[in-house]
A and B are shown apart, each in its own frame.
Chain A
Amino acid sequence: MSSFGSVAWSSVGKKVITGLTGFMLIGFVAVHLLGNLTLFIGPHAFNGYAHFLETAVHGWLIYAFEVGLIVIFAFHVVAAVTVAVADKMAARKQGYKYARNAGGRSRKTLASRSMIISGAVLAFFVIAHIFLFKFADHEQTAEGVKNLYKTVVGTFQNSVGFTAFTVVAMVLLGMHLRHGFWSAFQSLGWTNDRWLPILTRAALVISIVLAIGFILLPIWLYLNGDPNAMPGGH
């Protein structure tokens, strides 16, 4: 009756895929923020952190993570787009002329309705910041380490547009996680009436904390960053 493919791509299977990959991406985002906080400390800390990531396990660690992230992103995007666009359009071809939110016990919010938009903007941001930071021409520090600090700080300092776009994207990240965090538990079936209100509140806290962290970075670097700060002399 059911092959692995038909189970994995059923309505429930797609939710499980979206939820599982969502959890992994939340984990990645949290670690990524912690690592980026070294930007506040200074060029030596940030460049050292980047150097560690790029050279760990003879450089294999970063490749393994990059391949993993691409696969996770791909599953997350394809499953979510199928649920939120393709299947949705097929299921109700003639929409309502007058539709209102029921309110009350509903969890439908601006965040839940705009997952596909916030997700699309975030995907664009992810690609843009990889090209601007990872594939840019890097200088070397006096210690012979890639000066990623100068690339990152310089990018924000030279472009108020990219700084503003980063802030907007990170607000959308917060909205995405506001629905996505508790929704991932629900998608995997790890909820009940006792835990649902706790998880929706936890989602609010986590989304605000992560969004604020990622919003402060570009603003602080734009206002205070010194791309030519010498390593060790922050």
Chain B
Amino acid sequence: MSDSSAKSGMTIHLKIWRQARSAAQGRFVDYTVSGIQQEMSLLEMLDILNEDLVRKGEEAIEFDSDCREGICGTCGMVVSGVAHGKHAGTTTCEIRMRQYKDGDTITIEPFRAGPFPIIKDLVVGREAFDRIQRKGGFVSTNVGSAPDGNAILVSKLAADDAMDAATCIGCGACVAACPNASASLFVSAKISQLAWLPQGGPERGRRALAMIAQMDAEGFGDCSNHGECEAVCPKQISIQNIAKMRREYVKAAWTGADKSRSSGGD
């Protein structure tokens, strides 16, 4: 980088997917933004680009973001061919412009999967995940005063595995990165998180059957064990959860867990 660009910032070329609405034909549009500082995030660069577009009377590029610190799961784009960008264990909002050089070209595409319809530009609908969650991604408990913390014993190993699965923020990068557009990593994280713990025990069979049936009904693809999901997952959730999910499913189908009366859910 030259001295002048260090003062005035980098110039970055962008190829961004623009699509007016779900049914419209989308296309890549080229943009160039200048004055980008290394400390900025990728999303802040898009904010600057949007301000330029609005000043010129053009329509701003729609993209999702909320916390901008990698914990909420709202942001999600395919940055230069990889969901959440090439750095492992981070979300799109955690991408910093110091990873790029002056004059670089960045391609930004929405997450692509049939069950994730494009709403506009880079924004996709992920309600399919919500519908899967409503089928059993919870425990039914009586509310009241907090129970004694040591009333139900949980081994350290089970607690660790459950916590690792529970870090899923439901961003959908696993679906976006999967060559088959499978939601197996997301669904397995939700099923495993509860299956590792005694609190999830009473509903585990019904949960596995119902959530997987809903995953299939939403039109997600099947898993081919490529493991690409684990590589892009901002929380680095392991595909061991997918193995766990399959054990839960086979066990539930074998023992007829779906016939037991269910409480809660729909």
Q: Which residues of A contact B (CB under 8 A)?
A: 1-2, 6-7, 10-16, 82-84, 87-88, 90-108, 112-113, 115, 179, 182-183, 185-193, 196
Contact = CB atoms under 8 A, between A and B. Distances in A.
Contact of B179 (A90, A108, A186, A187): A108
A108 B227 CA distance: 6
B134 interface: no
Closest 4 CB pairs of A and B: A100-B81, A91-B221, A107-B227, A106-B231
Interface stretch (B3-11, B46-54, B209-217): B209-217
A12 B240 contact: no
Contacts of A97: 17, 28, 107, 109
B112 A189 contact: no
B215 A11 contact: yes
16 contacts: A7-B253, A10-B249, A11-B223, A12-B212, A15-B222, A84-B180, A87-B222, A88-B224, A90-B114, A90-B221, A91-B114, A92-B114, A98-B81, A107-B227, A189-B244, A192-B244
Interface in B215-249: 215-216, 219-228, 230-232, 236, 238-240, 242-247, 249
B76 to A, nearest CB: 14
Contacts of B179: 88, 108, 113
A10 B78 contact: no
| B17, B227, B230 interface centre (most CB from chain A within 10 Å) | B227
B181 interface: yes
B213 A2 contact: yes
A2 B258 contact: yes
B86 A102 contact: yes
Contacts of B258: 1-2
Given A2-B209, A104-B88, A193 B221 contact: no
B212 A10 contact: yes
Contacts of B244: 189, 192
Contacts of A83: 180, 221-224
A98 B246 contact: no
Given A1-B209, A96-B78, A15 B223 contact: yes
Interface in B101-154: 107, 109, 112-115
Contacts of B222: 11, 14-15, 82-83, 87-88
Contacts of A104: 88, 231
A189 B184 contact: no
B207 to A, nearest CB: 12
B83 interface: yes
B61 interface: no
Given A10-B212, A14-B222, A98-B109, A93 B243 contact: no
A112 B226 CA distance: 6
B158 interface: no
A108 B226 CA distance: 4
